[in-house]
Amino acid sequence: MKQYRVSAIILGLLLIVCQNSFGQGKKANVVVLATGGTIAGAAASGTQSGYTSGQVTIDAMLDSVPGIRDLANLKGEQVANVGSQDMSFEIMLKLAKRINELLATPEVDGIVITHGTDTMEETAFFLNLTVKSDKPVVLVGSMRPSTAVSADGPLNLFEGVAVAADPKAGGRGVLVVMNDQIQAAHSLTKTSTTAVQTFASPVRGVVGVTAYGKNDFYNDPQWKHTTSSEFDVSSVTRIPRVDVIFADADMAADLIDCSVNNGAKGIVIAGVGNGNMTKAALDAAARAVEKGVVVVRSSRVPTGTVGRNVEVKDDELGFIASGELNPQKARILLSLALLKPHTPQQIQEMFDTY
Ligand code: ASP
């Protein structure tokens, strides 16, 4: 009995010591990779709508956010400084390789990427498929430039660092943190040209919320990503050309022929409704498939899915249905898929799982 009491006291003391060392919590090491965008933008006055993206360096941005260095040990690196309308596969590859290099070391616990919002969903999805780590990777941006009255960048950056420093953010794929919401790379999309609440995940909902560094995760992305992804860009230097073609009433077919003639290896149709297009466009798309071009049917409609063989005979014509992926994300997945040997069935399987 006495022996039992002594063991219980020792166990209790051990627990207190452990709790204290976890409670004091070693500060996470987070690297912030900057690429430009409105978050680094500047205007001549606080109320001017016109501004130039990518004017402010990462060190100046970090120094301007009160309390951010209390959240994590931060190091900034300038990878690019562009408006994300100029985001390229070259920069995306550079980012993926640098992130993989950093996260492979035990000294780095998480990554934040500052990025313009225009193509943030594309870079986020590209990294979701090519980062080889379960550590948190978070993109942040802003809708208002750093000089604006009520600029949204500083709090987004603060909250992005708080999420990247949180081990609970790990294993959920690449995340985007803006306007107090945590969203998954697979599912989010930009929905407003100007509003601070621009990002939404219309089909799947958000992964969680964050408020001044307090994070609450309540949704786990179900799609394959990062460490379960088969895509490896470590030795890739060029991405095959994939064009997105917008479908509308009375769509002309020659845009598809033009894309094939200019060397596209893949075409994504931003179809009407459930990935539909005019009969003439369908015929042109079938001609493209016969020439070895992979054709994916996505949709210009912001929510819902594109299913196989609904109104279009995909099995007969050799097309791929994009499922939940919007045209810009379908283009990212198809570009990576084309780097590997593939059959239409294998590519369809990728669209069903990533
Ligand atoms: N054009 C800007 C960009 O994407 C818009 C923004 O960042 O909100 O870089």
Ligand 1, residue 118: give the atom nearest the CA: 4
Give me ligand 1 centre to Cα 11, in Å. Answer: 55
More reliable by pLDDT, 55 or 245: 245
Q: How far apart are CA 300 and CA 304, in angstroms?
A: 10
pLDDT digits (tens, 9 = 90+) for 328-344: 999 999 999 999 999 99
Q: What percent of the chain has pLDDT over 70?
A: 93
Index of the ligand 1 atom closest to the CA of residue 143: 8
| CA 126/CA 177 separation, integer angstroms | 17
**What's the 228 CA to ligand 1 centre distance in angstroms?**
30
Asked if residues 190 and 223 have their Cβ atoms less than 8 Å apart, the reply is: no
| Mean pLDDT, the chain, whole residue set | 93
| DSSP 3-state of 174 | coil
Query: Which of 235, 298, 290, 296 has its CA nearest to residue 267?
Result: 296
Mutate to test the pocket of ligand 1, among 35, 88, 118, 142 (most ligand atoms within 8 A of CB): 118
Task: Report the pLDDT value the prediction gives residue 24, as an integer from 0 to 100.
Answer: 52
Residues in the ligand 1 pocket, defined by CB under 6 Å: 37-38, 53, 83-85, 116-118, 141, 143
pLDDT at 153: 97
Q: Which of 23-32, 123-132, 176-185 has the lowest mean pLDDT?
A: 23-32
Pick from 51, 53, 86, 191 the residue to mutate for probing ligand 1's pocket: most ligand atoms within 8 Å of its CB: 53
Distance 106 CA to ligand 1 centre (A): 33
Tens-digit pLDDT profile for residues 257-310: 999 999 999 999 999 999 999 999 999 999 999 999 999 999 999 999 999 999
Assess contact for 41 and 145: CB atoms under 8 A: yes
Q: Give the per-residue pLDDT at 49.
A: 83
Cβ–Cβ < 8 Å for 139, 176: yes
Using the predicted structure, report yes or no on whether residue 204 has a pLDDT greater than 70. yes
Q: How many whole angstroms from 53 Cα to the centroid of ligand 1?
A: 7
d(CA 25, CA 297): 49
Q: Is residue 18's pLDDT more than 50?
A: no
CA 37 to ligand 1: nearest atom = 9
Query: Which amino acid appears at position 196 of this protein?
Result: V
Mean pLDDT score, 300-321: 98
Helices (H), 46-130: 58-63, 68-71, 89-103, 120-130
Q: Which pair of structure tokens corresponds to residue 124?
A: 């986020």
Position 7 pLDDT exceeds 90? no
| pLDDT at 43 (0 to 100) | 86
Annotated catalytic residue 52: no
* R_g of the chain computed on alpha carbons: 23
Residue in 35, 38, 114, 210 annotated catalytic: 38
Tell me how far the alpha carbon of residue 144 lies from the centroid of ligand 1, in angstroms: 9
| pLDDT greater than 70 at residue 14 | no
Nearest to 158 by CA among 185, 180, 189: 180
CA distance 323 to 231: 19
pLDDT tens readout for residues 109-137: 999 999 999 999 999 999 999 999 999 99
Question: With 60 as the cut, is the pLDDT of residue 19 above it?
Answer: no
The dihedral over CA atoms of 65, 66, 70, 72, expressed in degrees to the nearest 10, equals 0
pLDDT at 48: 82
- Distance, in Å, from the CA atom of 162 to the CA atom of 38, rounded to the nearest integer, reads 21
* C-alpha 230, offset from chain centre: 17
The confidence score (pLDDT) of residue 289 equals: 98
Task: Please write the tens of the pLDDT for every residue from 28-85.
Answer: 999 999 999 999 988 888 888 888 888 899 999 999 999 999 999 999 999 999 999 9
Q: What is the C-alpha to C-alpha distance for residues 257 and 200, in angstroms, rounded to an integer?
A: 34
Q: Which atom of ligand 1 is nearest to the CA of 36?
A: 9
Q: What's the confidence (pLDDT) of residue 77?
A: 97
Measure 83 CA to ligand 1 centroid, in angstroms: 5
| pTM for this prediction | 0.92
Q: How far is CA 308 from CA 112, 288, 297, 313, in A?
A: 37, 18, 9, 8
Nearest to 268 by CA among 224, 326, 352: 326
Q: Which of 85, 87, 117, 122 to mutate to test the pocket of ligand 1 (most atoms within 8 A of CB)?
A: 117
Confidence band (pLDDT; 50, 70, 90) for 22? very low
